[in-house]
Chain A
Amino acid sequence: MTRVLTLLLAALLALPIAAEAQKPIKVGMPMPLSGPPALFGEPATKGAQMYIDEINAKGGVLGRKIELLTRDSKADANEAVRVARELILKENVDFLVGTLTSAEGPAVSVVAKENKIVFIAPIPKTDQLTAADKLHPYVFRVAANTTMEGRSAAEIVAKWPVTRIGTIAFDYAYGQDVTRAFVEHIKKVKPSVQIVDQQWPKLGEQDYNPFINAQMAKKPEAVVSSIWGGFFVTFSKQAKALGYFDALKYNFIGLGEAGSPETTKSMGADYPTGIWGNSYDAFYWEDNPGAHKDYTARISKYLKDQYPSSWAIQGYIGMQFLVEAIKKANSTDSDKVAKALLGLTIDTPIGKQTLREKDHQANRGQLYGKTAKDAKYPFSIMKPVTYVDPTKFMD
């Protein structure tokens, strides 16, 4: 009788624990799902969701399933704060993974800090997010930052047989920071370089003709651009029509992921094939660690697209870090997970990634390559495409 009672008591005591264990781990994901940045935000949420679906299929993490709650931050810092608060205080999410723009990231970082919730940023590149005066235990970034991007470009351009270089970038934090990082580094690596022209169209410019003409008049031998997304499409269509790329002999590097499959795919024959570009991911990357092929097959199936987006991987890697940290900490308590994230190295589809202890920044390099036509695809690709390891650029 006592044994039955003891067992019953144990069962009753275990019930709340069991109930607790069944509650899903909630992750909030504020991302722009409307407006121009939705181009990146939407695939990132899908990449995150795919990873979560896979983990849940294997039984979840610590015996619990993960639930992703996405919210449209509208690329507005105020809206991002609102949805972050709603996610934390109303939906009681355990963690936040998200934001895209350079204003959203730092804004949500403050909310995360005050609520002591781990916040992983998969896309914002602004140095501000992990700068010494803004860093706190709960913020982490798995995107590249402007310093890494600018310097990687400098290393590549230094190898070109050119000395007169021009830059073109949007006149706001991202464009200014990447350009500055490039200029500072190339002067170190190749002192003979002269910056002969700098163009600063406003963010969201639709008519680049005046800037293109002005730049061509200075006759640079190479140009470094950080014009991104749909704006790059607009810019390069106009530039190509004016003979800009021909004049540069295609010594042009398009940072801001101008080499991404989305961009080359959407432009088709209009793409200025022969320029250099970078991208977070490329489904055609052959010379890659084995995990990439598998990932590409899965994301292609998930997105129902034989040429899947290159932005999904950022959401995917963001979630990977989170889940691995939860496993390592054996807990969903943000303080423990934050500690577990420091210095954490994981295997991602692009290789090993480590979140540095000193600034919570991952060594997220990007794929760089010169674009060329390829018979296998109806659009240009970067060929050969190399992953540029940024570890030496990060300080």
Chain B
Amino acid sequence: MPDLSFVFAQSLSGLTAAMFLFLIASGLSLIFGVLRVLNFAHGSFYMLGAYSAYQIVQWLGTGPVSFWVAAFGAAAGVALLGGIVERFLFQRLYGKEELYHLLFTYALVLVLGDVAKVLWGTQQKSLSRPPGLTGALSLFGATIPHYNLFIILLGPAIALGFWFALQRTRAGRFIRAAALDRETLGALGVNVNALYTGVFVLASFLGGLGGALITPMRAIVPGMDTEVIVEAFVVVVIGGLGSFWGTFLGALIYGQVLSFGILFFPRFSIFSIFALMAAVLIIRPWGLLGKPLK
């Protein structure tokens, strides 16, 4: 019988991983839900968020708020990039086949990956945890770093904030409407194109923020764009493409599967992500909380 503190530690690990993934996957889910596009380049925005945060910290030095300024600045920069890409390139492809959207986002991955390489080179980079969140607390015999706790709390905070915005604000209502029926919304006089750009900007902001906030816990290296995108897809698929709470739930489940999976199937972690995705797609393709795609 594994002891309690170990089980607790593992589930907290799973929770931290889940909330990070949620942060990243929520942007992906948003774009899919509204624009009906699977944005491979979302991982690239995540990576650019990380590199930009690193760069900003290099300029500002390691003061008490430089990390937060960097995180926000990076996310904003990435959001801007997302907006430009959507407005001037992506919008031209809307009438065309889905395959073209996918290939466009893939082409973006190639381009942005090399841009990052040109700007920051191939050597790994690293950022430290911001001052104020460098400690850890001990709970039930397990050590929980404060930064992990911050992420664990941030996840639901963002989820709730989002949910509130989607349910209660006008823009939120439009977004939900666009997800259901774009044409009618356009006929009602709403500038759907601007809405789409806005959604893309918001999603990119989340992706960039995820990248920036993960830097204290991971190295910033080339290849981090494609690493994360597959995990984000799996989370979105488990929860249901287009369902916001589905993504949250998917992230939670995925986090725990990873954490405890290594205890039951110690040398098969290479399979877990794809086996999970295949299982969900075979058994219940629209995910736990999604609706069947027409």
Binding site for B on A (CB under 8 A): 33-36, 38-39, 41-42, 171, 199-207, 209-211, 213-214, 216-217, 229-231, 233-234, 237-238, 241-243, 262-263, 266-270, 309
Contact = CB atoms under 8 A, between A and B. Distances in A.
Contact of A36 (B3, B9, B129, B223): B223
Nearest to A42: B122
A128 to B, nearest CB: 20
A238 B143 CA distance: 12
B17 interface: yes
Contacts of B142: 213
Size bracket, chain B contacts: 35 or more
B239 interface: no
B123 A266 contact: yes
Given A241-B147, A266-B124, A269-B128, A214 B219 contact: no
Nearest to A32: B122
Interface in B1-25: 2-3, 6, 9-10, 13-14, 16-17
A217 B6 contact: yes
- Top 8 nearest A-B pairs (CB, nearest first) are A209-B13, A233-B219, A230-B221, A38-B122, A241-B145, A230-B124, A202-B270, A230-B219
Contact of A35 (B123, B148, B222): B222
Contacts of B259: 209-210
A202 B143 CA distance: 24
B218 A237 contact: yes
A335 B267 CA distance: 44
A227 to B, nearest CB: 11
A210 B129 CA distance: 20
Contacts of A41: 122
Given A209-B13, A217-B6, A204 B221 contact: no
Given A207-B17, A210-B258, A262-B123, A34 B222 contact: yes
A267 B2 CA distance: 34
B103 interface: no
A209 B263 CA distance: 13
Nearest to B143: A243
B250 to A, nearest CB: 16
Contacts of A210: 10, 13-14, 258-263
A201 B143 CA distance: 21
B124 A35 contact: no
A171 B218 contact: no
A75 B269 CA distance: 22
Nearest to B220: A230
A268 B128 CA distance: 8
A103 to B, nearest CB: 16
Contacts of B125: 266
B227 interface: yes
B126 interface: yes
Contacts of A242: 9, 136, 143, 145
Contacts of A207: 13, 17, 258
Contact of A214 (B14, B218, B228, B263): B263
B130 interface: no
Interface string B210-223: 00000011111111
B136 A241 contact: yes
Contact of A243 (B2, B117, B136): B136
B189 interface: no
Contacts of A206: 218, 224, 227-228
A35 B110 CA distance: 12
A34 B223 CA distance: 9
12 contacts: A34-B222, A36-B223, A200-B267, A204-B223, A210-B262, A233-B124, A233-B219, A237-B219, A242-B136, A242-B143, A267-B126, A270-B128
B292 interface: no
Interface in B261-289: 261-263, 266-267, 269-270
B216 to A, nearest CB: 7
Given A241-B136, A241-B148, A200 B124 contact: no
B3 A217 contact: yes
Nearest to A202: B270
A321 B125 CA distance: 33
A306 B34 CA distance: 51
A34 B219 contact: no
B124 A213 contact: no
A201 B217 CA distance: 17
B174 to A, nearest CB: 36
